[in-house]
Amino acid sequence: MSPPVRSASRAQAGAPRVGHGRPRETEYRPRHPLDLRRTVVFQRHGVNDPTMRVDGAVIWRASRTPEGVATVALRETSPGVVRAAAWGPGAGWALGQVPALCGGRDDPFDFDPSPHPLVVRAHHRNPGLRLGRTDRVFEALASAIFEQKVTGVQAFAAWRRIVTWHGERAPGPTPGPLFAPPSIEGWRRIPSWAWHRAGLEPPQSRTVVRAARRGDAIERSVAGAADGEAVDRVLLSQAGIGPWTSAETRIRALGDADAVSVGDFHLAHHVGYALTGSRTDDDGMLQLLSSWPGHRQRVIRLLAASGVREPRRAPRLHPEDHRDR
C-alpha cells in the first residue's frame, strides 16, 4: 500500500509558519516601458502555482536562490517605478535579480516587427512586454519536464502537489502559503510513491530524478555556455530531455528571445493561424518565424498578446486520473 499523502490544501494548512522579520527593499526603475504583470506572471505554472501568487497589484514569488529560500513581492508604485521587498536568507540575491526578472536584460532594440502587420500592431500595443529570466536553471528544467507530453492541467496539478509536499515554506507576510521548489538534492530524494500520488507519469519523474543527479553540473555547464546553441548541447545531452524541454528551460531561466518550443502540441497551430489564417506544422512555423532571426520567441509572445486565436474545433481533453490505482 502506498504511504498516505495529505492533500495540497491540508499540506499547506499544516506547513510550519515562517517568521516574517523586516524585509529588505529596493526600487527598480527600468529604462524602458514595462508591463510588470505580463512579464513576471509568465513564469507562473498555472493559476494555483504554489511558488507565485498575484494579490491585487502585488506579485508574490517564492524561489530557491543560491543563498537560500526567498520571497519577493513586486509592485508598480508609480509609472516606471517597481518597488520590491524580499524576505528570507536569499533576499539579497532575489532583490539583485529583480531587474532580470522584469526583463532588464532583454534587448529588443534591433527587433523589426515589419515583416507582418499583426506583429507590428501587437508590438505597438504592448510596448511593455519584456522577456524576463529567473536565472534558476534547474528549477526551470524540472518544471519543463513536468510539462512533457501531458496537458497543462495535469502538469500544473502535479507541480502544485510536489512543490507543496516536498518544497520549503516561503518566508514573508504572503497572502497565502507559498512554497519554494525543492533543492537539487531534494528533487533526488522524492520517493517514487510521491510522484505517483502527485499524478506525474513515470517517464517524467524518472527524468527529473536522473537530471537531479547531475543537477549541479548541468547548472555549471549552462552558466558557462556562450549562447542558446551551447545551452542546447548541454541540456540535450541528458537522457529524457529533448528540444522542447530545452527551449522551455531557456525561455524561463535565461529569457532567450530566440528559443522556439518545437514539438509543442499547440504552438505551431497558433503561430500558423495568427500569421496566415490556417494551421501549420513545426517546419512551417519555423519558416514563418525565420523573418525575425534572434527574436522568434519575442514574436511568439507578441502573437499571444495580440488576442488572435483559432476557433476551438473540439471539446477539451479530460485526462483520466490514475493516482488511486
- Residue whose cell numbers read 527587433: 111
Q: Where are the domains of the chain?
A: 23-109
List the pLDDT tens digit at each of the 325 positions of the chain: 333 334 344 344 445 555 567 899 999 999 999 999 999 999 999 999 999 999 999 999 999 999 999 999 999 998 889 999 999 999 999 999 999 999 999 999 899 999 999 999 999 999 999 999 999 999 999 999 999 988 889 999 999 999 999 999 999 999 999 999 999 999 999 999 999 999 999 999 999 999 999 999 999 999 999 999 999 999 999 999 999 999 999 999 999 999 999 999 899 999 999 999 999 999 999 999 999 999 999 999 999 999 999 887 655 545 554 444 4
Query: In one letter, which amino acid is 44?
Result: R
User: How far is residue 166's CA from residue 205's CA, in Å, rounded to a whole number?
Assistant: 14
Q: How far is CA 50 from CA 30, 119, 153, 245, in A?
A: 28, 33, 15, 21
First-residue to last-residue Cα distance in the chain = 10
* 75-87 as b/e: b if 16+ CB within 10 A: bbeeeeebbbbbb
Spatial distance between the Cα atoms of 77 and 46, rounded to a whole number of angstroms: 26
The pTM of the full predicted model, rounded to 2 decimals, is 0.89
116, 127, 214, 283, 310 from 272: Cα distances, Å: 12, 23, 37, 11, 9
**Class (C level, CATH) for 23-109:** alpha beta
